[in-house]
Structure 1
Amino acid sequence: MGQEKASVQFVKGAAILGVAGLVSKLLGAVYRIPYQNIAGDIGLYVYMQVYPLYTTLLILATAGFPIAISKIVSERVAVGDVIGARRAFRVASISLVILGFFFFLLLYSGAPLIATFMGDQHLTTPLRAVAWSLPLVPMAAILRGYFQGHQNMMPTGVSQVAEQLIRVVFILLSAFWAMNVYQDAYLAGTGAVFAAFPGGVAAVLVLLWYWRKDKHNLLPITTTQVQSSGVSAWTNRQVLQSLLYYALPICMGALVLPLVPLVDSVTVVNMLQWSGMHEDLAKLAKGAFDRGQPLIQFGTFFATSLSLALVPAISEAAAQRQNKLIANRSEVAIRLTFLLGLPASFGLALLAEPINVMLYGDDKGTQALAIQSFTIIFATLSIASAGILQGMGRVMRPARNLFIGVVVKLVLNLALVPLWGIAGAALSTVLAYLVAMGLNVLAVKKYTGAKIGLRQTALRPFISVIMMSVVVLVVEWGAAALFGKVVTSERLFHTIVGLIAVGAGAVVYLLALLKTGGLTRNDIHFLPKGKRIAALLTKFQFLPKERTVVERNQ
């Protein structure tokens, strides 16, 4: 009974963290569009120059520690070492706060030098503004790890959503104020990056509220009970060693993620100026290039959701040594990811201009956006395959592969940006993720035995996406001809054309997949509410009726 209750608690906790993570990522993908509409390309440029560096330092200061703290606390509590659990919390608290203050001083004092390295001295103030949150966020990481160690995931989930929500609201309000009162895009960017501080305050306050509410339930065992259990309490040194042992590999793995935009932060503007472009034009070009980031992030949203389900699903099969089940689940995951990533890439590439004007008000950077759109297919496959490898216990392999992709990105940026401008930076991003994805998929085939060939995975989706592309181009041309003389607003015109073409493309692609057999009943069952979706498609005769056992035997 106790094991069943613990299992239910674990599933519930994983679901809470999964939903909270997805909501946070969705907010993080969407807000940059209204922010750019308020602050313009220069405001977006300022934000995207500074934020990847902040994220990198934040990962160094916190990533891995919540998991490490939760693991140590739960282990110590399980063996009756409550003193060791408390000591783990105290040592982690002191260590992370010191580390947070160190990175604050490093970024604040080094801001002028970093700004010079990025090719823009005006970035000094935004860099110093974002530094203020570095001592604060580790406190949230400590508390989250402690709650997770007690199998209480609700405080972590609620604090994540609260942090992101407050941050987004502050970003948009501060940008609106800066542009309406001072017409200063750099001030808007400074407010946007400083928003990490009030977001961190919100997270800490939520966690402290839970702490006060549950403090009587946390570690209720007395010292006398611990001594009578015969378990020796850990020393400070043992706790610190264990924290570093668990946290550092996770930290190194997470560190790779912000390195791709960080490479753009330190190379694109410098390379554009080196090729002869004026500084102001180089900043505008970088801001136009950064428009693609939220669209790519949104395009990979499904893969992120799928990876959250994949890790425990693959881990469960691996623990039971069900090799065929591992291979089957891996094949289905890769195929589903490809089915959704492929049309997203082609659709965005074909409709780059109307989507660009619809979301951002003009067509600056359209060519780079069209090229960047193919990042979606490779990034989604990279995320899904990383989830499979993590479920197999190969945690560092995806990080290593992505780091190789980052090196490719850096080399290609230096070579292509002087030649082709931001289009070269876009191409280097696509190729970097292609390399990372290719290495991940090879590793998946090696460790799972999954059969991932071009014929069974890509042929039918490619046929379907070609049919979709033809329809999208025809509908776009027809809608443009129909509304061209009726709608006078350029932004409204492109919005109508874009939405009609996207809708037509989505319907045709789905029908083509069902007719060619690119999407099967088993694939649909793998999705959330899959059986209900399959029944609905069968009812409207888009999917053939499922044969009975007698029919199959005949």
Structure 2
Amino acid sequence: MERPMTQTTSKLAKGTMILTITSLLVKILSAIYRVPFQNLVGDEGFYVYQQVYPIYGIAMTLALSGIPVFFSKIIAEKDNQLEKEEAIQTFYPLFVVLSLGLFLGTFFGGTCLARLMGDAKLSSLIRMTSFVFLLAPAVATYRGYFQGELQMAPTAISQLWEQVIRVATILLAAFFFTKTRMSLYQMGTWAISGAVLGIGAAYLVLVVYSRKQLKKEIRLPKITKMSKQSFKESVRNVKRFGYEGGVVCIYSAYLILFQLIDSFFIKNLLVRIGMSETQAKVTKGIFDRGQPLVQLGLVVATSLMAVYLPVLTKYYVTKRKEKFLFATSLYLRLTFVVGLAASCGLACILPFVNRGLFGSTAQNTALMIFVFAVFFMSLIQAYQTVFQSYSCLKPVLIAAFLGILGKLVAIVLLTKYFGINGASASTLLGLVCCVSVLHLCFKYSWKVTTFSAFFYLKLLLCIGIMGVILVLYKNGVGYLFGVNLKRMFALCLALMGVLIGATIFLLSILKLKVFSTREWLLIPYGKKLLSLKNRNGEKHEIR
């Protein structure tokens, strides 16, 4: 019995590593392609694409992460092949009904949605995006099945193919826009078509893998031939799907939901406070530059989540409460430290980043505010991971809805009085609402104090040291070279700023002992960092 268990654990660890690495590559690619895209089509073209992107993001969250994670859990619970096929018969129709409803709503309601966004010309992009929902149930079911069988390679390869084809199509559309007379909205429609081609490629990859590895294709039931009993069984599972699957879907797409709110409100509110239509579109396009920056900033947080979730789950299931609380406390504090440092550092060098990547320093203040979403979103992901490790879902759902409500209220009030800076701040306020509820629920559940006053004091001192040095660096460069820097030079200065900031911050947290020696040994690469500090006579501490 021990050998099969060891093989299963090894298979799970290997599969998780493959999926984690692929997910990180996909996230990096998803963030990076926006830079050349914006460079080719300009801020107004970027606005056109980003207005509709959240709809695609929601569709792909359902297809690539939300539903597959839920369904893989269902498959893992089944003991034999017959039960697994019955699970497909039960849940696949439910996925189809959800996706079909979203397709019909976005395709036939495309004009209405575009008008609500304040730009009727976006309707063709919305209709194009709607076709992604048609393939989402099949892709989600295949991925969930493979993940439930601990076969992560099909999921990883299909995700990579989807992203590569989508990005290639987007950049080709942008390139042809510069060479032809197509309008921004025609370009946007062609760019969005990459999402349809991408999910189609993912579907084909999964079908090939099912025939190759399972020696047969997974049979997906036809809705028109479902028995009355199967349909009733699907209805009885709506509650479980809505509750468990809903949590995964909402948090996988949480920042995308905030972007969707921005799409409906920012441009309209900017026009209402006196901007012209064109100026409002360009301003929204500049504001959207913050999205790839936040995505890149969240890569580290996503990596930490992948590392700590199985550890926390293992400690909780085996009832090792002391180790669970220690690992949880370390994970939350590590996320707090990394997220805050990344946000503050990025805010300090943002003028260089903005100039180097996007060609101007427009809306620096709004973007400096927005990048702090890295900090709050990192904490939200961390708390959600902790609650997920012991299957506590109610507080997570409540926190998510309160955060969205906070965003809705804040964006109307703050944009009205503070313009695009207020819109940027509304995202932070919504995230603060969510993370505050999660923190209070965790504290109430476990009666522990994760963040001590001494921890805050030492961390703020480290952040202050890094911030002062980076501000002096930025001002010194401005004094020597002025503000109108060449783009490549600005990008080099940004990278140099990252290196300076990271070095100063690491030395500071080591010197001020923000983490104990025991904690450093449990942090990824912590032993190597600690050995640098202890090279001169303190090596015995890390043995």
**TM > 0.5:** yes
Over aligned residues, Cα RMSD in angstroms?
A: 2.6
Q: Which amino acid aligns with 1:503?
A: L
Q: 1:449 to 1:164 in 2, by over 3 A?
A: farther
Q: Which residue of 2 aligns with 1:248?
A: 242
Q: Which residue of 2 aligns with 1:332?
A: 330
Output the CA distance in 2 between the equivalents of 1:149 and 1:334. 28
Output the CA distance in 1 between the equivalents of 2:140 and 2:341. 38
**Which string of whole-angstrom CA distances, capped at 9 and with x for unpartnered residues, describes residues 84-123 of structure 1?**
4323324544443454344223211111111111111111
**Which string of whole-angstrom CA distances, capped at 9 and with x for unpartnered residues, describes residues 72-93 of structure 1?**
44444x1x4x444323324544
Deviates more, 1:322-331 or 1:265-274: 322-331
Q: 1:101 to 1:378 in 2, by over 3 A?
A: closer
Deviation at 1:13, TM superposition (A): 2.6
Unaligned runs of 5+ in 2: 219-227
Output the CA distance in 1 between the equivalents of 2:525 and 2:512. 23
Q: Which residue of 2 aligns with 1:302?
A: 300
Which of these residues, 510, 516, 525, is aligned with residue 514 of structure 1?
510
Output the CA distance in 2 between the equivalents of 1:2 and 1:56. 38
Deviates more, 1:3-12 or 1:267-276: 3-12
Q: Which residue of 1 aligns with 2:54?
A: 52
Q: 1:8 to 1:501 in 2, by over 3 A?
A: closer
**Contact 1:62 1:138 (8 Å CA) reproduced:** no
Output the CA distance in 1 between the equivalents of 2:50 and 2:175. 18
Q: 1:235 to 1:535 in 2, by over 3 A?
A: farther
**Which string of whole-angstrom CA distances, capped at 9 and with x for unpartnered residues, describes residues 293-343 of structure 1?**
111121122112112222221111111222221221121112211221222
**Contact 2:66 2:245 (8 Å CA) reproduced:** yes
**Which string of whole-angstrom CA distances, capped at 9 and with x for unpartnered residues, describes residues 389-425 of structure 1?**
1112213423321221111111111111121111001
Larger radius of gyration, structure 1 or 2?
1
**Contact 1:327 1:451 (8 Å CA) reproduced:** no
Say which SS state the counterpart of residue 339 (structure 1) adopts. Answer: helix
Q: 1:172 to 1:524 in 2, by over 3 A?
A: farther
Output the CA distance in 2 between the equivalents of 1:520 and 1:112. 58
Deviates more, 1:248-257 or 1:307-316: 248-257
Output the CA distance in 2 between the equivalents of 1:527 and 1:493. 35
Q: Which residue of 2 aligns with 1:319?
A: 317
Output the CA distance in 2 between the equivalents of 1:166 and 1:137. 16
Q: Which residue of 2 aligns with 1:222?
A: none
Q: Which residue of 2 aligns with 1:158?
A: 157
Output the CA distance in 1 between the equivalents of 2:70 and 2:158. 19
Q: 1:505 to 1:214 in 2, by over 3 A?
A: closer
Q: Which residue of 2 aligns with 1:417?
A: 415
**Which string of whole-angstrom CA distances, capped at 9 and with x for unpartnered residues, describes residues 268-317 of structure 1?**
11111111211111111111111111111211221121122222211111
**Contact 1:67 1:247 (8 Å CA) reproduced:** no
Q: Which residue of 2 aligns with 1:353?
A: 351
**Contact 1:91 1:239 (8 Å CA) reproduced:** yes
**Contact 2:63 2:140 (8 Å CA) reproduced:** no
Output the CA distance in 1 between the equivalents of 2:37 and 2:394. 35
Output the CA distance in 2 between the equivalents of 1:64 and 1:490. 43
Q: 1:91 to 1:324 in 2, by over 3 A?
A: closer
Say which SS state the counterpart of residue 321 (structure 1) adopts. Answer: coil
Q: 1:214 to 1:374 in 2, by over 3 A?
A: closer
Deviation at 1:58, TM superposition (A): 5.4
Q: Which residue of 2 aligns with 1:192?
A: 191
**Contact 2:64 2:143 (8 Å CA) reproduced:** no
Q: 1:72 to 1:380 in 2, by over 3 A?
A: closer
Q: 1:448 to 1:193 in 2, by over 3 A?
A: farther
Number of residue equivalences: 528
Output the CA distance in 1 between the equivalents of 2:482 and 2:409. 44
Output the CA distance in 2 between the equivalents of 1:150 and 1:351. 45
**Which string of whole-angstrom CA distances, capped at 9 and with x for unpartnered residues, describes residues 456-499 of structure 1?**
332112111111112112222333344459xx853234334333
Say which SS state the counterpart of residue 168 (structure 2) adopts. Answer: helix
Output the CA distance in 2 between the equivalents of 1:143 and 1:60. 13
**Contact 2:211 2:217 (8 Å CA) reproduced:** no
Say which SS state the counterpart of residue 47 (structure 1) adopts. Answer: helix
**Contact 2:62 2:140 (8 Å CA) reproduced:** no
**Percentage of pairs with the same residue:** 32
**Contact 1:330 1:450 (8 Å CA) reproduced:** no
**Contact 1:108 1:131 (8 Å CA) reproduced:** yes
Query: Would you say 1:202 and 2:201 are equivalent positions?
Result: yes
Q: Which residue of 2 aligns with 1:176?
A: 175
**Contact 1:91 1:240 (8 Å CA) reproduced:** yes
Q: Which residue of 1 aligns with 2:222?
A: none
Deviation at 1:347, TM superposition (A): 1.7
Query: Would you say 1:89 and 2:88 are equivalent positions?
Result: yes
Say which SS state the counterpart of residue 134 (structure 2) adopts. Answer: coil
Which of these residues, 367, 372, 378, is aligned with residue 365 of structure 2?
367
Q: Which residue of 1 aligns with 2:68?
A: 66
**Contact 1:307 1:388 (8 Å CA) reproduced:** no
**Contact 1:62 1:96 (8 Å CA) reproduced:** no
Deviation at 1:39, TM superposition (A): 1.6
**Contact 2:210 2:216 (8 Å CA) reproduced:** no
**Contact 2:31 2:295 (8 Å CA) reproduced:** yes
Output the CA distance in 2 between the equivalents of 1:91 and 1:247. 11
Q: 1:280 to 1:453 in 2, by over 3 A?
A: same
Output the CA distance in 2 between the equivalents of 1:525 and 1:157. 30
Deviates more, 1:47-56 or 1:133-142: 47-56
Unaligned runs of 5+ in 1: 220-233, 550-554
**Which string of whole-angstrom CA distances, capped at 9 and with x for unpartnered residues, describes residues 14-52 of structure 1?**
223222222222222222222211221112212221121
Q: Which amino acid aligns with 1:252?
A: G
Output the CA distance in 2 between the equivalents of 1:217 and 1:74. 20
